[in-house]
Amino acid sequence: MKTDLFDYLLPPELIAQTPLPERDASRLLVLARAGDRPAEHRIFRDLPEYLRPGDLLVLNNTRVLPARLRGRKTGTGGRVEVLLLRPLAAPAPGGEYLWEVWPRSSARLRAGQTVEFADGLLRGTLRDAAGGTAGTRLMSFAPVGDWEEALRFAGSVPLPPYITAPLADPERYQTVYAQEPGSAAAPTAGLHFTPALLERLERAGVEKREILLHVGLGTFRPVRTDRVETHVMHGEYYRLDAATAAAVRRAKAEGRRVIAVGTTAVRALEAAAARTGSPEAGEGRTEIFIYPGFQFRVTDALITNFHFPRSTLLMLVSAFAGRENILTAYAEAVRRQYRFYSFGDAMLIV
C-alpha cells in the first residue's frame, strides 16, 4: 500500500497554535463509520447526545513528562536539547537513571559527553545509540537529590514541533484525568474533556474506564517509507488492569459499545486483544501498527483529533472508517476551517 494514499492538503493557518479558552468548546465532526450518511458538525460538549446508556468510554490516563531538557555541554558550554523517551533501568539507591533519549545539538554528540541541566541540578552522560529508532541514544542521569524534583526544575512540557506559540498554562497540554507520568506527548483527543462533561456522561449512564499507554517518539514522526507495510513503529509501554479488561469483555459480551478516546486508547485495547481476540490484563511494550486491512476486535467507536498527512494516526483512523471516508471528511473539515492537530478540533466516528 502506497504511503502517498494518505496525503492531503492542509493550509498551515489551520494548524491550531493555542488551545481554546474552554476545553469542550472545540468543534466536533460526527462521522458515520460506514460512510452511509453525511457528516454532522457540532460542538464537543454536545457529545452526550451521541452516546448511549451502557456505552463504555475508555480513556488513556497517561501524563506528559516535563521531558524536554535544555542544557549545556560541560567544557564547551555548547547548547544541547534532549527529549526523554522512555526509562530503561531503575537505579540502585544513589545510582543513575538510564533513558532512551532523542538529542539535538549543533555539533555531533559523542559517547561520554556530559551535559548539565538547570545549572547542575541534573547531569546527563551520553552513551551509545539506543538500537531502536534512528537518532535515539542512551543517556544516564545523575540528579542532585530527588529525580522527580530535579526533572520538574530542569524539564518542560515538550510541545509538538508544529506548535510555535508559547503555552501560557502547561496543564492545557494535559488531560483533566492524567495520572501517571511517562509520555513525551499528550493523548490529544482527551484534551477536550472537562470534569463537568465527564460527570454529565456518567449521569447519562455511560461507563468510564481508564487504561495506560505512554505516548512516545512515533507521535512526532511521519511515515517516510514509500510503502506503508515497511514502516517500523516505535514501541510504547501500555498497561491494562484486570478490572478494566473485565469491564471491556463484559461490554462486548452484552453488545454495548466500547468507545476509545484517542488513537492511543485504540492501540492499547487492540494490543491487549491481539493474542486471543479478547482484551487481556497485562502490561508491556507494543509496536502494533494499525492501517487499512486491520481487523478491530475491541473498538466500536472512536473520538479523535485531526492528524498529520502520511502519519500512522491517519492510517489508523482510515483503517477504522475507510480511507476515502476519512479523506472526504478531512476535506470537508478544511473547507469549514476546522482547527487541526493537538490543540485542534475533534471527530467522533460512530
Question: Residue written as cell 498554562?
Answer: 169
Q: Is residue 163 part of a domain?
A: no
Q: Is residue 307 part of a domain?
A: yes
- Domain extent for 78: 68-156
12, burial (CB in 10 Å: exposed 0-12, middle 13-18, buried 19+) = exposed
pLDDT digits (tens, 9 = 90+) for 70-120: 999 998 899 999 999 888 876 666 678 999 898 988 888 888 999 999 988
Q: What is the pTM of this model?
A: 0.91
Q: Is residue 332 part of a domain?
A: yes
Q: What is the CATH number of the domain that holds 152?
A: 2.40.10.240
* Among 347, 344, 346, CA closest to 17: 344
Q: Is residue 164 part of a domain?
A: no
Q: For position 132, what pLDDT does the model report?
A: 54
Q: What is the CATH number of the domain that holds 208?
A: 3.40.1780.10
Q: For position 135, what pLDDT does the model report?
A: 75
Do 224 and 259 share a domain, yes or no?
yes
Choosing from 104, 126, 156, the residue where a domain stops is 156
Q: Is residue 52 part of a domain?
A: yes
Do 87 and 140 share a domain, yes or no?
yes
Q: Is residue 161 part of a domain?
A: no
Average pLDDT over the chain, rounded to whole? 93
Do 334 and 219 share a domain, yes or no?
yes
Do 249 and 108 share a domain, yes or no?
no
pLDDT digits (tens, 9 = 90+) for 174-212: 999 999 999 989 999 999 999 999 999 999 999 999 999
Do 210 and 266 share a domain, yes or no?
yes
* Among 312, 306, 302, CA closest to 331: 306
Measured in degrees and rounded to the nearest 5, phi and psi for residue 51 equal -105, 150
Domain count, the chain: 2
Report the alpha-carbon angle 242-89-85, nearest 5.
80
If you count them, how many residues does the chain have? 350
Choosing from 156, 184, 214, the residue where a domain stops is 156
Do 297 and 270 share a domain, yes or no?
yes
Question: How many angstroms from the chain centroid is the CA of residue 193?
Answer: 15
